[in-house]
Structure 1
Amino acid sequence: EYNPATGNQDEEYIQLINPQSIAVDISDWKIANAITHTFPAGTVIPAGGSLYLTPNALSFRARTTSPKGGEQLFVQGNYSGHLSSWGGTIDLFNAQRVLVTSNTYAGSPSDAQRYLRISELMYHPQDPATGSGFDAEAFEYLELANIGDHPLSLTGMQLTNGVLFAFPDGAALPAQSYLLVVKNFEALASRYTIPAGVQVFGPYAGGLANSGETLKLEDATHSTIVEFKYDDDWYPLTDGDGFSLTAADLAGTAHNDWDRRTAWRASTFKGGTPGFDDVGPAPNSVVINELLAHSHDPNPQNPESDWIELKNTTDEDINISGWFLSDNNDDDPNCTKYEFPDGTIIPRNGFWLLNQSESFGNDDAPGCKVPFALSEGGETLYLFSGQDGALTGAYSTQQKFAASATGITLGRYEKASLTNGYDFVPMKTPTPGDDNSEPLVGPVVISEIMYNPASTDTGGEYIEIRNTGTTAVELMSWVTIQQSDDPVDLVTEYQPWRITGEVEFTFPANRTIPAGGFLIVAQNPTAFKAKYPAVPAARVLGPYEGKLNNGGGNILLTQPGDHEWGKDQYLIPRDKVEYDDETPWPVAPDGGGPSLNRIVPSLYGNDPANWQAAAANPNS
């Protein structure tokens, strides 16, 4: 029962039935997805019996309708979370994390769940001027919006995670209106003029974490209205630079998508828009679509030098005259290094191409205020709206990119199953002025990950890499090393590839993977060989430094890049997997026995849709 008649969500329950003729020991079994719970040791459901699982055993026993206390029921609490009125899926896994059964229910959300949104966060305000009398945190605020056509009662509603605040009895939010919940009334009034009629509540207890955290809004029955985790890595402009984190699409975002980066954007205006609409170009109207950062052309005036491609994702032409492009987001002049000349119009669904030698890297080019080049070691590129030589704040976007190999472009690969809706990755083919190609994959890829072996598994963690190509690949690369501040004081070295991220491992010199072959990098090679004697010992490497994170993490297969004087040597990703122990990634590999297995090695790897849980079988 996900919606108790009393309205007290702590009275909800899940019933487990044992239809067998023998008792079933469910010690260490796990409920996942809609809620989470691990059954403690000694939990046994009798033959033909039931177990009632609840978020609050005391509240369950206090129910006034059956099932309730006094009925000699087998009751266990307390699980984490509450069943969503939106509906959900309840999965039951055994101690080996093999799915035993699953139940999906439809749900029936309330009006508040349908129409009330957290629409804006000022979680890391810009530092105030000296002598203001307030610290930066005093300027925090949350904005809520009623996107429905009828007023919503706020009685009994509470912010229960991240910050704490209970709305007073009788409070209500009119249709199509905003309200604010603030940290400090006086600080807010000193910085903003709030539109007439916008209600301001507060102060709330606690503070919004600058690094990101989970926020939760509950109704009077403890049902979740909205819950999501924001991250300061989503849009660095919102992390102390004065911009707020603003909902990208209040009406169109699904209730369970608010913790995705694509559900949010930086505010149009510096300072945010507390209490009023955030107008301006729609989010992601213009994106940094593809770039070449490693042309290895020593002459910046060469037409074959680095380039940047912008894309208009809308069905209308967009005039970006007066906008700015830069590799720095500090204040002027750093963020205004290149200004787009008058007449710069990106056609609908079209592209705008800039060559370094003709625009942003040429001191004599119109609009080039401070020449810059793209770093082959990776950096962040910024696009800001502007007018009359100044930033307007009406639009901004940015794209962080990793180190790249010579002649390999980096671009947007868009796919719904990806964590953020798109990844910015090496492209199979450069396509300046046209739609992007497929990602560059392989030939050497990460093909299997055992990140959390079962407690009975003596083989330990391991990572399998595989050569999907038709020729052998030596895991070595030539690199250029600058030995002093003299730019021509260079030597070359032949260096091995590495695995980085959650763990660190450097491949032995001159190691080769034959066509169709594989290598195992094990946390404990001795234990692995004992567990899997069929795997040729010569193909087992390790140990690596560190431990794979059971809660999810990054694994990168990298080749060494050039080493500039006074800088860290950069590493070029050849394959990357950001695995997780929660859906949409398979959950059974999280201690249940199976490993993560790449379904089609030749397809893009950082995609949960291309991974499955399967019995550990290195060398398969």
Structure 2
Amino acid sequence: RTDFIDTNFLRAPVFSSNGGAITSGFRLTISAPTIEPNTTTYYTVNGLDPRLPGGAIAPYASASQGSFSVTLLDNARVFARNFNLSHNNMTGGAVGGNPSISSPWSGSTVGTFVVRTPPLAITEIMYHPTRSGTTDGDEFEFIELKNVGTQTLNLVGMRFTNGIDFSFTATNPITSLASGQYVVLVKNRTAFTARYPAVANIAGSYTGSLDNSGERICLEGPLREPILDFRYGDEWYPTTDGLGFSVVVRNESAPFNTWTNPASWRASTALNGSPGRADPVPASIPDVLVNEVLTHTDPPQVDSVELHNPTASPAPIGGWFLSDNPDEPLKYCFPTNTVVPANGYLLVTESQFNDGGPNSFALSSLGDQIYLFSGDRTNLTGYRHGFAFGAQINGAAFGRHISSEGAEHLVTQKTVSLETANAGPKVGPVVITEIMYSPSAADPLDEYLELRNISSQPAPLFDPLHPNNAWRLAGGIEFTFPAGLVLGPGAFVLVVNFDPVYDPVRLGWFRSHYGLDAETAILGPFTGKLANEGDRVGLYLP
């Protein structure tokens, strides 16, 4: 059968290399591994098919027989087919065995060879613009490109293959770029021109949209040379995610493989970006931090936000904004001449941000958000820092904490420490000590969480003043602890995904398998499932 297939179709040419980066003068060997005599290989180096529609030989194709070499001095897309007029496809049928669909052509062998990557850089991406009136923000999207080479660059044939759909053609308003020039591609030309009336270097409108949450973008050359292939993310710089700023590459002359690194980008200096021109050098903005927050207070305490300046220089924040909604940043505006001392703190109380004015806000004891934005009293200027937080007990403070992985968290503190260094996270009395998230395939019901009272005092897993309000687990799984449960000093409790009351056989097996005595509390079932690739689970007070 294999021999029949090999003779039924003319074999395609074989390349000595599949393509990729090469040096000028590279010799590509092409051979025709066919058992049929008088086979000719037709090929091109510009990516065009040597076989015309209908089967004729393209007049621009080169030809050779046997094994031969092609010297490549510049970028090339080699497209080759074998051709033999004597070849006939065989069906083995009763009538002749040579159907009229027989072709003298083989399948194609194609490879792209790159001596130099086309110097066309993606320099700015406005992926989540702000809306304007009734016009949706997505209509103001744009991508900016720049010729970072030293010679004029022909754009015809350049194209995006992921993220958006756009190809440069000879009919575009801009078909070439001089060295150092920019060009802009837009989602909606009418909307774009209304917002940026001075921008004239628009090459065209693309189809599709840039994903507001981030996505992969691929740009390739006219011979399908890979130019850029990277993913941008909305987590890179929060002010670019719907607050009016674009992402701008920091160094337009850097190697293209650095485009994948978030550190290679920054938020634009200018509100609404700077399409079609270089983005201004960003002003120095001090990294002032939301450091401690009181959200559930009774007099004499008041709800408060502590800011911290970790730098060695005073941080002027007059004209900056504080808000409980990251999508509505222009709320409390700091007075002119407000300064956070070097390595110091500034306390903002509810009497300031909730003074009854039109932009007032209050912090909810049941969970809320708090964000600091740099600004000039009217507009944002590109910096944001803050957190979302959950419910809090009366009198306790949330504080900024850096984990061992370098991630920021806002967590309950041991004590309130406003205008001084944070006291550190409050741990216990009950903690999650063990998670079985990926049991053996033979026993998928073996998921569990282990909790322990690490204190020397009994720990009620309910509100003593309201005993029906119990602690709970939430996230990837959900479970509410039974009313009245008290965990003794040093004691453990296991939460499983089966019902230990209605499945005593399973309970007995579980205790035996893990060597647990009858004193170890086992509760369940929880709902949901712990994801094997990672998940989030929290222990919450009522």
Structure 1 residue 392 and structure 2 residue 379: aligned? yes
Between the aligned partners of 1:541 and 1:5, the Cα distance in structure 2 is 60
Between the aligned partners of 2:457 and 2:154, the Cα distance in structure 1 is 66
Structure 2 equivalent of residue 377 of structure 1: 366
CA RMSD of aligned residues (A): 4.4
Amino acid at match of 1:402: F
Structure 1 equivalent of residue 485 of structure 2: 511
Structure 1 residue 530 and structure 2 residue 503: aligned? no
Between the aligned partners of 1:528 and 1:213, the Cα distance in structure 2 is 46
- Within-5 A mapping of 1:587-598: none
Structure 1 residue 327 and structure 2 residue 332: aligned? no
Structure 1 residue 308 and structure 2 residue 305: aligned? yes
Structure 1 residue 360 and structure 2 residue 353: aligned? yes
Query: Following TM superposition, by how much is the alpha carbon of 1:232 offset from its aligned partner in structure 2, in angstroms?
Result: 7.4
Between the aligned partners of 1:373 and 1:269, the Cα distance in structure 2 is 31
Contact 1:281/1:395 (<8 A) preserved: no
Structure 1 residue 546 and structure 2 residue 534: aligned? no
Query: Following TM superposition, by how much is the alpha carbon of 1:223 offset from its aligned partner in structure 2, in angstroms?
Result: 5.6
Between the aligned partners of 1:288 and 1:464, the Cα distance in structure 2 is 33
- Which among 336, 339, 345 is matched to residue 342 of structure 1? 336
Structure 1 equivalent of residue 97 of structure 2: none
Structure 1 residue 227 and structure 2 residue 216: aligned? no
- Within-5 A mapping of 1:461-540: 461-478=447-464, 492-525=466-499, 527=506, 530-531=509-510, 532-536=513-517, 538-540=520-522
Unpaired runs of 5+ in structure 2? 1-16, 23-79, 81-114
Unpaired runs of 5+ in structure 1? 10-61, 63-109, 480-491, 561-620
Query: Following TM superposition, by how much is the alpha carbon of 1:189 offset from its aligned partner in structure 2, in angstroms?
Result: 2.0
- Within-5 A mapping of 1:37-436: 120-130=124-134, 136-144=137-145, 159-166=160-167, 174=179, 179-193=183-197, 200-210=202-212, 212-217=213-218, 219=220, 225-228=228-231, 230-231=233-234, 235=238, 238-241=240-243, 243-246=244-247, 267-275=268-276, 276-277=278-279, 280-282=282-284, 285-294=287-296, 296-297=297-298, 299=299, 302=300, 304-328=301-325, 336-357=330-351, 359-362=352-355, 371-387=360-376, 390-403=377-390, 404-415=392-403, 417-418=405-406, 421-436=407-422
CA spacing shift, 1:558–1:323, aligned 2, 3 Å: same
Q: Provide TM-score, normalisation by structure 2.
A: 0.63
- Secondary structure of 1:552's counterpart equals coil
Between the aligned partners of 1:291 and 1:253, the Cα distance in structure 2 is 43
Query: Following TM superposition, by how much is the alpha carbon of 1:322 offset from its aligned partner in structure 2, in angstroms?
Result: 3.0
Contact 2:162/2:219 (<8 A) preserved: no
Contact 1:118/1:226 (<8 A) preserved: no
Contact 1:269/1:393 (<8 A) preserved: no
Query: Following TM superposition, by how much is the alpha carbon of 1:504 offset from its aligned partner in structure 2, in angstroms?
Result: 1.0
- Secondary structure of 2:194's counterpart equals helix
Contact 2:373/2:382 (<8 A) preserved: yes
Larger radius of gyration: 2
Between the aligned partners of 1:257 and 1:539, the Cα distance in structure 2 is 53
Between the aligned partners of 1:249 and 1:383, the Cα distance in structure 2 is 24
Between the aligned partners of 2:345 and 2:121, the Cα distance in structure 1 is 34
Amino acid at match of 1:227: F
- Which among 453, 462, 469 is matched to residue 439 of structure 2? 453
CA spacing shift, 1:430–1:266, aligned 2, 3 Å: farther
Q: Provide TM-score, normalisation by structure 1.
A: 0.56
CA spacing shift, 1:203–1:395, aligned 2, 3 Å: closer
Give the % identical residues: 34
Contact 2:450/2:495 (<8 A) preserved: yes
Query: Following TM superposition, by how much is the alpha carbon of 1:437 offset from its aligned partner in structure 2, in angstroms?
Result: 4.0
Between the aligned partners of 1:478 and 1:249, the Cα distance in structure 2 is 56
Query: Following TM superposition, by how much is the alpha carbon of 1:507 offset from its aligned partner in structure 2, in angstroms?
Result: 0.9
Query: Following TM superposition, by how much is the alpha carbon of 1:277 offset from its aligned partner in structure 2, in angstroms?
Result: 1.5
Amino acid at match of 2:491: G
Between the aligned partners of 2:324 and 2:214, the Cα distance in structure 1 is 28
Residue-by-residue CA offset, 1:538-579 (whole Å, 9 max, x unaligned): 42221111222344332111111xxxxxxxxxxxxxxxxxxx
Between the aligned partners of 1:120 and 1:523, the Cα distance in structure 2 is 49
- Secondary structure of 1:373's counterpart equals coil
